[in-house]
Structure 1
């Protein structure tokens, strides 16, 4: 059974004439007659009553034709969806992003993306790196924004920017007037970190090895925003990404101090499946990132 055969029986049921049905379907009358006879043989029922000078659907033929009409309508919907899908920049892009990036990058990225691809809104999933990796593998998101390294079989990555780490201390702290702080100095005070399982926590521990020393009293926060408030309250010091400390996230109750060169930093990248069918959507997302104007993000061209 083919869609062509279904079109033939619908045309014949409506025209009540083999010649007119064949003309309507732009085929010869023998071609149409043979196709319909073949379909009747396949189904094991006679769809049309034939007589001299007339043709009419049988009782079962009427029902089959009605169902054929529905099938043709659904097939046309499939065709329309596929036509829309030819425009890779039309329709939502499912974007996953880690917690330490989402609130700070997305407001600017969404605005920039509207200029590049106005008909491609972002359906956003904010989650931890491990969860986003699984969602990417299971086709629950199209692309993720994560910190490297992110090595997963079947996944491509594209670095988009580097972001420095900064030390934050409460106003009046002994480090407040320091021009720069060496990574090994971040110890001995009450250091605030994100809870375990967050990749940024691991990056901070890698950049400031003394943080995990037995002498350091580490306190934990659930989010960057919480840690920023804890520091402002005088509960300790912390290390945060530069993008989370710029306007409108700056705070008069904290001081931001850069590290000594070379500053610890993280490299942020896009990651997507190798078989992703909307490469132009990826190009648009990259272009939107390149259009950002934020000194916290050192763009990689």
Structure 2
């Protein structure tokens, strides 16, 4: 009788478990139920006739056999993804499945502009989108669970090729009745004004927080220590309530300022602080030409939409 072989689903389940060392977190990453994940790992153990994990009440540990299986499973899955990528490349540009990750401070503002164009230009593209913060989506990209990501550059990892899409200025958002006094001049607000203001930030883990901190550090400013938000929407509402000021990227302004009353928008004097949004993909991917086509389509969509005055092709 021939020996049974592990299935792709079993290998993906085990690699996720090896990465997270927690059944619940691994199941959430794969978007399957925890019992389904446990069943897949148990079936894999039966298939290879070895115990791969030690289960405790708080965490999961890999056995020596589990460590070896995890390493080999990553290689197998990577090669399987490469096979699919190469087949798709032969079929033509942007045909078939494409798994895209987008950071939360880009997704709500860029996707409504880009998705209709992609649907029209590439009708055979089977697009799936995952919104997540920078570090998790880069990890998913490098693990082969995403094909391409849209994020603020530079990418915080090696092995990722970047294609710049557009630059967007930061705008200082303050309560409508906020008195800037001599901090605002005819050519705009100078960065040094931040050193005299309470700047509200997103929680840790958001790249936009890091970018705002960089701007503040340049002028010796201290962000407000006690108040943070998990989204740009909440951040702008806090400003509307008079708790401080914040930095908002241009593309987010039309959406977020519409939801919050009593706001004043103040542009910075040149050169304004800005961030660069780009496309990232695994440097070893055979689909580089496809992703170049995707980047060109996104750039065209942004340019034609005229999202805001402070948005420029990169």
TM-score bracket for this pair, using the shorter chain length: 0.5 to 0.7
How far apart are residue 137 of structure 1 and its match? Answer: 0.7
How far apart are residue 96 of structure 1 and its match? Answer: 0.7
Measure, in 2, the Cα distance between the counterparts of 1:249 and 1:119. 36
Number of equivalent positions: 221
Measure, in 1, the Cα distance between the counterparts of 2:280 and 2:296. 15
Q: For residue 123 of structure 1, what is the aligned residue in structure 2?
A: 128
Measure, in 2, the Cα distance between the counterparts of 1:151 and 1:266. 14
Query: Taking structure 1 as the reference length, what is the TM-score of the superposition?
Result: 0.66
Q: Where in structure 2 are there 5+ consecutive unaligned residues?
A: 1-82
Measure, in 1, the Cα distance between the counterparts of 2:215 and 2:89. 47
Q: For residue 183 of structure 1, what is the aligned residue in structure 2?
A: 191
How far apart are residue 162 of structure 1 and its match? Answer: 0.5
Measure, in 1, the Cα distance between the counterparts of 2:281 and 2:207. 19
SS of residue matched to 1:140: coil
Say if 2:312 is the partner of 1:298.
yes
1:100-249 equivalences in 2 (<5 Å): 100-150=105-155, 152-175=157-180, 178=184, 179=186, 180-209=188-217, 213=222, 216-217=224-225, 219-246=227-254, 249=257
Q: For residue 104 of structure 2, what is the aligned residue in structure 1?
A: 99
1:289 to 272, 292, 298: 298
How far apart are residue 249 of structure 1 and its match? Answer: 4.7
How far apart are residue 205 of structure 1 and its match? Answer: 1.2
Query: Taking structure 2 as the reference length, what is the TM-score of the superposition?
Result: 0.63
Does structure 2 retain, via aligned residues, the 8 Å contact 1:189–1:217?
no
Of residues 261-270 and 115-124 in structure 1, the stretch that sits farther from structure 2 once superposed is 115-124
Deviation by residue 1:144-174 (Cα, 9 ceiling, x = unmatched): 1111121533221111111101100111111
2:267 to 255, 258, 276: 258
Measure, in 2, the Cα distance between the counterparts of 1:127 and 1:83. 26
How far apart are residue 128 of structure 1 and its match? Answer: 1.4
Measure, in 2, the Cα distance between the counterparts of 1:184 and 1:259. 10
Deviation by residue 1:45-85 (Cα, 9 ceiling, x = unmatched): xxxxxxxxxxxxxxxxxxxxxxxxxxxxxxxxx9xxx5896
With over 3 angstroms needed to count, the CA separation of the structure-2 counterparts of 1:264 and 1:277, relative to structure 1, is: same
User: Could you say what the CA RMSD is over the residues aligned between the two structures, in angstroms?
Assistant: 2.8
Larger radius of gyration: 1
Does structure 2 retain, via aligned residues, the 8 Å contact 1:136–1:143?
yes
1:71-110 equivalences in 2 (<5 Å): 86-110=91-115
Deviation by residue 1:82-137 (Cα, 9 ceiling, x = unmatched): 58962342223111111111111111111222232122143111111111111111
Q: For residue 281 of structure 2, what is the aligned residue in structure 1?
A: 272
How far apart are residue 138 of structure 1 and its match? Answer: 0.5
Q: For residue 71 of structure 1, what is the aligned residue in structure 2?
A: none
Measure, in 2, the Cα distance between the counterparts of 1:247 and 1:83. 36
Does structure 2 retain, via aligned residues, the 8 Å contact 1:188–1:217?
no
Q: Where in structure 1 are there 5+ consecutive unaligned residues?
A: 1-77
